[in-house]
Amino acid sequence: MLTSLGFILLGGAALAGLCRRIQLPTIIGLMIAGLILGPQGYNWLDSSMLTISPDLRQMALILILVKAGLAINLRDIWNLGRPLLMMATVPVLLELSVLTYLGLTVFELHGLEAVLLATAVCAVSPAVVVFRMIHLIEQRYGIAKKIPQLIMVASSLEDIVVVVVFSLVLTLVETHVETPDGIGALEAMAQVPIALLGGIVLGVLSGVLLAYIAKIMSPSAPTVAKTKVLKASQNLLKKEDTIHSVKGDTDGKQAQAMKTYMMTPQQATLLLTLIVATAFVLVALGNWLKPIISISGLLAVMIMASVVKGQVSYELGQGLNRMVNQLWIPVEIILFVLVGAAIDTTYMFSMSGILILVIALGLIGRTMGVAISLWKTPLTIKERTYCAISYAPKATVQAAIGGIPLALGLPSGPLVLAASAMAIVITSPIGAICMDYFYKRLLHHDEDLL
């Protein structure tokens, strides 16, 4: 297994770097590495690695939600207001509706599995979008109307919506609730609000507990309070120097006083470890309690991470966000390489025509949702067009959840995985190329804006 893991990391990093050099999303290179290393290629991966692939994908999904929770800034949500909430829900719900209808009619799936297929395909990918939005901010394109910020935050919120819906629908499918008279399905659907409420409560409680632990680990208070404490400590040091004529570097003492009120890198790493470990426990707890009460463990993970970020200081929250992004780098390589290794290329290419058509129709519904969300906003037609282009690429969520139905042995598993992989292969490079090509043509260059 260690040899296989080395092949995955080295081969994935090499092909990802090659794709980056030719201006393609690195995700494509990672999936190609999986095809080469997996059973469809040279079969250099140990069978045990493929056996634990579903567990590794679930770990990646949990880390995605931790990333999303730590990245969400409530101030951004408040400032962006209605367009943000609309962009986070309307496009994905319209695409979800279109794909569910196509799953029912084209692929003849039953209701729950059609929704499962739709949720596995419809989410936008922050892995492709966020990097380019940061580039737009650095190049000062569209920042006057906060277009990059809108797309970044909305894409993260949308992924949360999709993952929560997917987990709830998967629970219903696993329990085989769809019966001829529909009674079982109705009873199970009644558990959905209970699962959502349970996930929120569990996430808030665990987040408050972790935030309390963080404050014990460091006496750092929220930003405003911490600033007052630091100023008071600096003034005290100056007075001590004056009264006692203590020789030395006052600035050094002030720096030492400041360190007293800030968490060290080792403590921050330990806190992130506690957050990730708690996330695993929350998902496991949701599975353990399933026979008794429905609780969405995945929703609890996201709520927990966002509560922790909201309770700790701004600097610590930003530090945790940076560390989890660094942790995501090897996890992303493993995730997408294993997805490429799990793809049945024969089946996928045999269904390629109909899958491409279904994905395209879903994107039409998504584009209509973007137009509705940005209605009566200050954005011009060109700017709205760029928002629609930026909302097309799919990758991260599809890789994390696309193989789960297959791992559970569901009849629709191969179709869901093939549709997820095809969505990544088609939309990720096309969307990335269009975003890079059109931003100078569709967005205003706000060079004078500070």
Identify the band that residue 244 occupies on the pLDDT scale cut at 50, 70 and 90. very low
* Residue 257 or 287, more confident: 287
| Domain boundaries along the sequence of the chain | 53-215+288-442
What pLDDT was estimated at residue 179? 44
Closest CA to 150 of 428, 445, 388: 388
Cα 416–chain centre separation: 19
Instruction: Assess contact for 20 and 128: CB atoms under 8 A.
Output: no
Identify the band that residue 321 occupies on the pLDDT scale cut at 50, 70 and 90. confident
3-state secondary structure (DSSP) of residue 141: strand
Closest CA to 72 of 298, 310, 363: 310
**Fold assignment, 53-215+288-442:** Na+/H+ antiporter like fold (1.20.1530)
Instruction: Assess contact for 86 and 372: CB atoms under 8 A.
Output: yes
Closest CA to 211 of 104, 64, 102, 320: 320
Average pLDDT of 162-186?
65
CB atoms within 10 A of CB 223: 13
Which residues lie across from 141 on neighbouring strands?
445
Identify the band that residue 175 occupies on the pLDDT scale cut at 50, 70 and 90. low
Average pLDDT of 46-56?
86
Instruction: Assess contact for 124 and 391: CB atoms under 8 A.
Output: yes
Most confident by average pLDDT, 75-84, 295-304, 309-318, 371-380: 371-380
Average pLDDT of 240-245?
47
Length of the chain: 450
Instruction: Assess contact for 423 and 121: CB atoms under 8 A.
Output: yes
Average pLDDT of 185-197?
66
Average pLDDT of 418-431?
92
Q: How far apart are CA 367 and CA 373, in angstroms?
A: 10
Q: How far apart are CA 282 and CA 210, in angstroms?
A: 13
Question: Range with the lowest mean pLDDT among 115-129, 178-192, 305-319?
Answer: 178-192
Q: CA-CA distances (angstroms) from residue 106 to 99, 114, 152, 359?
A: 10, 10, 33, 12
Backbone angles phi, psi at 140, to 5 degrees: 65, 45
Average pLDDT of 168-196?
62
Query: What is residue 448's DSSP assignment?
Result: T
pLDDT over 70 at 74, yes or no: no
Identify the band that residue 182 occupies on the pLDDT scale cut at 50, 70 and 90. very low
Residue located via tokens 């709205």? 384
What pLDDT was estimated at residue 189? 56
